[in-house]
């Protein structure tokens, strides 16, 4: 009941509601006049029959007949009275039993329910709110972003213009505010001047409108905007402090970079000062079937400490495995490495198979010629790799611009189309369609045709990652995780996405429980699954850590681990 006054205020202040109520009142007045007219005619006809009744009785008779109750205690004797009774009965059915309920529901009850739903969704944030993230579109990327914000206890709010969608998100537990993107007053109510970031991931027109509206209110808050067309970059980059991402291009480039034989054997994923993070497929090395302990022992015999690379984990069919000494490397395992460029060079010289680079006769097969597929083709072309694209839509003009002579039009599920595109000689198959179910089907089909080929797939939804690995994909890159990590890096640079399946590099101050302990004594890897790959000190980044490295209060840990491992670390080793 405490919300009733606010609901009433909102209900009767709405212009549409005022018009609806006025229409309902006019109809009720019309019905009242009809009832009074029938009551008068009742008296007149009764007088003609030689009878006299009170006005209350006339009103009583009219209502019972119009409502079809028809008690029958008062009836006419003449045909005129009977005809009048029929007219009253039929008009009552139409007015009271048909039109009145419909009018009441249409003009009052439905708007009242809508007002109740709308009143449940707030239209502003408290003035004390600051350092929050404002999101204009709820989708796969922002859903993953909200999960990351919640884990870091960063406040956020979703701006939604449609009250029904806002109510749905509110019921799901998301923080939603109702308002229009192109209204400066809406952004003022959201305390945008005190926000840490504004994120707009809708279409280009909507993002442009949101960006310029925000700039009417404040010039200081940073913004992240997504773009789908190259032509939108110049417009969206116009406002100051704006980061524009072509997420489909980023995803396509990262899919292409995972191709076996693209550049050096070790794929450089990220670099922090002198610390380089890379990955390499075990199929390109001589390490398959050996344990990490045996490899580490060999590294110690061959290389000096400053030349040794650090194996920080393995990927096995989408599952991250901590680097335990008895862990055996599979043929399709992917090793995650950390070290300097010189250390990676030494690793390649010792462990890369001599036949790993002999891929001159092999091409890359791209399934899907959409925006992501075209971005993959452009990246492969820049590295002078041969490729072919299978695309079902034969009217794709944009595809011909980037892959003239490399396109095979047809259904990727057709064996003849795949053979024509070169599936039997391909080094890598990259699946790029937007339909996760289709990607699963194509991964499974290609794995049956070529058990030895490298299969890389994109996914839109995070929950499809494990299914795609089960279907046969060696690597899966999530559109949602990639976009969310890119946005998080704008908000806070202490996180770098290594794999979009949830494996992240993050930086945290040394917890008080670990101060003065060595890495061996801390048992971080054994307890949480996170690996410490470097220390951030006042003098810069320090890599090549040993078990005897002691943790000091002025330092920060640079760690790598899955999202679950990161949560476990925060739980077991709180900052305060």
Domain boundary, last residue among 351, 381, 408: 351
Give the largest Cα separation in the chain, rounded.
127
SS3 for 345? Answer: helix
- Return d(Cα 423, Cα 431) in angstroms, integer: 12
Predicted confidence band at 1 (pLDDT cuts at 50, 70, 90)?
A: very low
409 shares a domain with 324: no
Helices 140-151 and 479-491, packing angle to 10 deg: 50
Residue 334 placed within a domain: yes
Radius of gyration of the chain (CA): 35
DSSP element (H, E) containing 32 = helix 15-48
Output the pLDDT for position 500: 43
**324 phi/psi in degrees, rounded to 5:** -80, 150
**Mean per-residue pLDDT over the chain, rounded:** 83
Residue 68 pLDDT > 80: yes
Residues in CB range of 399: below 8 A, 6 or more apart: 369, 373, 374, 389, 391, 407
202 shares a domain with 95: no
Residues in CB range of 8: below 8 A, 6 or more apart: none
Predicted confidence band at 394 (pLDDT cuts at 50, 70, 90)?
A: low
Output the pLDDT for position 499: 45
Predicted confidence band at 2 (pLDDT cuts at 50, 70, 90)?
A: very low
Domain boundary, last residue among 210, 245, 280: 245
146 shares a domain with 220: yes
Residues in CB range of 269: below 8 A, 6 or more apart: 277, 278, 279, 498
Residue 397 pLDDT > 80: no
CB 326 within 8 A of CB 296: no
498 or 101, higher pLDDT: 101
Under the phi-then-psi rule, with left for phi > 0, alpha for psi from -120 to 50, and beta for the rest, what region is 559?
beta
Which two structure tokens, joined as six digits, stand for 406?
A: 């490399």
277 shares a domain with 235: no
Residue 307 placed within a domain: yes
Per-residue pLDDT, averaged over 7-33, amounts to 75
408 shares a domain with 334: no
Residue 492 placed within a domain: no
Residue 332 pLDDT > 80: no
Residue 319 placed within a domain: yes
Output the pLDDT for position 497: 47
Output the pLDDT for position 225: 92
Output the pLDDT for position 357: 53
Residue 128 placed within a domain: no
140 shares a domain with 115: no
472 shares a domain with 374: yes
Output the pLDDT for position 146: 93
Per-residue pLDDT, averaged over 339-356, amounts to 80
CB 143 within 8 A of CB 208: no
Which two structure tokens, joined as six digits, stand for 416?
A: 């003849």
Output the pLDDT for position 498: 47
Residue 356 placed within a domain: no
pTM higher than 0.75: no
418 shares a domain with 514: no
469 shares a domain with 380: yes
Q: What pLDDT, in 10s, does the model give residues 348-368?
A: 888 887 765 555 567 899 999
499 or 418, higher pLDDT: 418
Q: What is the CATH number of the domain that holds 526?
A: 3.30.70.1450
SS3 for 336? Answer: strand
User: Which residue segment(s) compose the domain that 66 sits in?
Assistant: 4-120
286 or 233, higher pLDDT: 286
Residue 127 placed within a domain: no
C-alpha dihedral sign at 261, 441, 434, 485:
negative
Residue 9 pLDDT > 70: no
Domain boundary, last residue among 417, 447, 480: 480
- Return d(Cα 21, Cα 27) in angstroms, integer: 10
Q: What is the CATH number of the domain that holds 39?
A: 1.10.287.70
> Of 346, 353, 374, 364, which is closest to residue 278 (Cα–Cα)?
346
Q: Which residues of 236-264 are buried (b: 16+ CB within 10 A; e: fewer)?
A: beebeebbbbbbbbbbbbbbbbbbbbbee
Distances (CA, A) of 503 to 269, 369, 560: 12, 28, 7
- Return d(Cα 481, Cα 47) in angstroms, integer: 85
| Percent of the chain residues past pLDDT 90, beyond the cut | 24
Output the pLDDT for position 367: 94
> Of 499, 498, 447, 497, which is closest to residue 468 (Cα–Cα)?
447
Which two structure tokens, joined as six digits, stand for 102?
A: 């419909």
- Cross-strand partners of 409: 391
DSSP label at 496?
A: E
Q: How many domains does the chain have?
A: 5
Output the pLDDT for position 478: 87
Least confident of 9-23, 86-100, 144-158, 506-520: 9-23
> Highest mean pLDDT range out of 9-13, 472-476, 501-505, 536-540?
472-476
Residue 119 pLDDT > 70: no
Residues in CB range of 416: below 8 A, 6 or more apart: 410
Per-residue pLDDT, averaged over 31-58, amounts to 90
232 shares a domain with 307: no
Per-residue pLDDT, averaged over 280-292, amounts to 84
Q: What pLDDT, in 10s, does the model give residues 399-454?
A: 666 666 688 889 988 999 999 999 998 989 999 999 999 999 999 999 999 988 88
Q: What pLDDT, in 10s, does the model give residues 527-556?
A: 888 888 888 888 877 776 777 888 988 888
CB 44 within 8 A of CB 81: no
């Amino acid at each position: 009941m405490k919300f009733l006054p606010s609901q009433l205020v909102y209900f009767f202040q709405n212009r549409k509601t005022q018009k609806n109520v006025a229409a309902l009142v006019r109809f009720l007045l019309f019905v009242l006049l009809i009832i009074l007219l029938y009551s008068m005619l009742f008296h007149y006809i009764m007088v003609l029959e030689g009878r006299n009744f009170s006005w209350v009785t006339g009103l009583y008779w009219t209502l019972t007949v119009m409502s079809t109750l028809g008690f029958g205690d008062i009836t006419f004797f003449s045909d005129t009275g009977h005809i009048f009774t029929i007219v009253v009965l039929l008009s009552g059915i139409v007015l009271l039993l048909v039109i009145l309920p419909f009018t009441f529901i249409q003009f009052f009850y439905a708007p009242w329910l809508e007002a109740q739903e709308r009143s449940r969704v707030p239209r502003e944030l408290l003035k004390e709110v600051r350092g929050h993230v404002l999101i204009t579109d709820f989708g796969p990327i922002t859903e993953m972003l909200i999960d990351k914000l919640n884990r870091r206890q960063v406040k956020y709010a979703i701006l939604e213009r449609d009250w029904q969608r806002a109510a749905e998100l509110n019921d799901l537990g998301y923080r939603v505010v109702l308002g229009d993107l192109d209204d400066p007053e809406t952004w003022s109510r959201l305390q945008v001047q005190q926000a840490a970031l504004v994120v707009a991931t809708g279409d280009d027109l909507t993002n442009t409108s949101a960006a310029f509206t925000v700039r009417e209110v404040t010039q200081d808050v940073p913004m992240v905007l997504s773009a789908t067309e190259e032509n939108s970059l110049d417009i969206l980059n116009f406002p100051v402090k704006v980061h524009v991402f072509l997420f489909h291009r980023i995803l396509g480039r990262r899919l292409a970079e995972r191709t076996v034989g693209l550049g050096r054997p070790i794929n450089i994923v990220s670099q922090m000062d002198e610390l380089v993070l890379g990955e390499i497929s075990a199929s390109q090395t001589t390490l398959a079937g050996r344990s990490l302990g045996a490899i580490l022992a060999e590294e110690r015999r061959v290389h000096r400490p400053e030349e040794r690379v650090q194996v920080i984990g393995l990927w096995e069919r989408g599952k991250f495995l901590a680097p335990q000494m008895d862990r055996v490397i599979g043929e399709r395992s992917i090793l995650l490495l950390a070290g300097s460029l010189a250390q990676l060079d030494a690793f390649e010289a010792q462990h890369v198979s001599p036949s790993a680079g002999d891929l001159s006769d092999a091409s890359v097969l791209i399934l899907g010629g959409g925006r992501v597929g075209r971005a993959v083709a452009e990246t492969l072309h820049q590295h002078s790799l041969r490729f072919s694209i299978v695309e079902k839509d034969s009217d794709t003009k944009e595809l011909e611009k980037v892959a003239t002579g490399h396109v095979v039009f047809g259904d990727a599920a057709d064996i003849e189309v795949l053979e024509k595109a070169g599936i039997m000689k391909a080094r890598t198959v990259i699946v790029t369609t937007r339909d996760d179910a289709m990607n699963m089907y194509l991964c499974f089909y290609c794995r049956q045709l070529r058990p030895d080929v490298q299969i890389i797939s994109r996914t839109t939804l995070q929950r499809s990652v494990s299914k795609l690995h089960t279907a046969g994909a060696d690597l899966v890159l999530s559109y949602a995780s990639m976009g969310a990590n890119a946005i998080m890096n704008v908000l806070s640079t202490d996180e770098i996405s290594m794999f979009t399946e949830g494996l992240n590099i993050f930086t945290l101050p040394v917890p008080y429980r670990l101060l003065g302990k060595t890495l061996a004594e801390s048992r971080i890897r054994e307890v949480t699954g996170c690996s410490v790959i470097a220390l951030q000190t006042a003098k810069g980044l320090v890599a090549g850590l040993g078990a005897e490295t002691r943790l000091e209060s002025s330092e920060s840990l640079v760690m790598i681990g899955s999202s679950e491992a990161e949560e476990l670390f925060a739980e077991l080793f709180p900052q305060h």
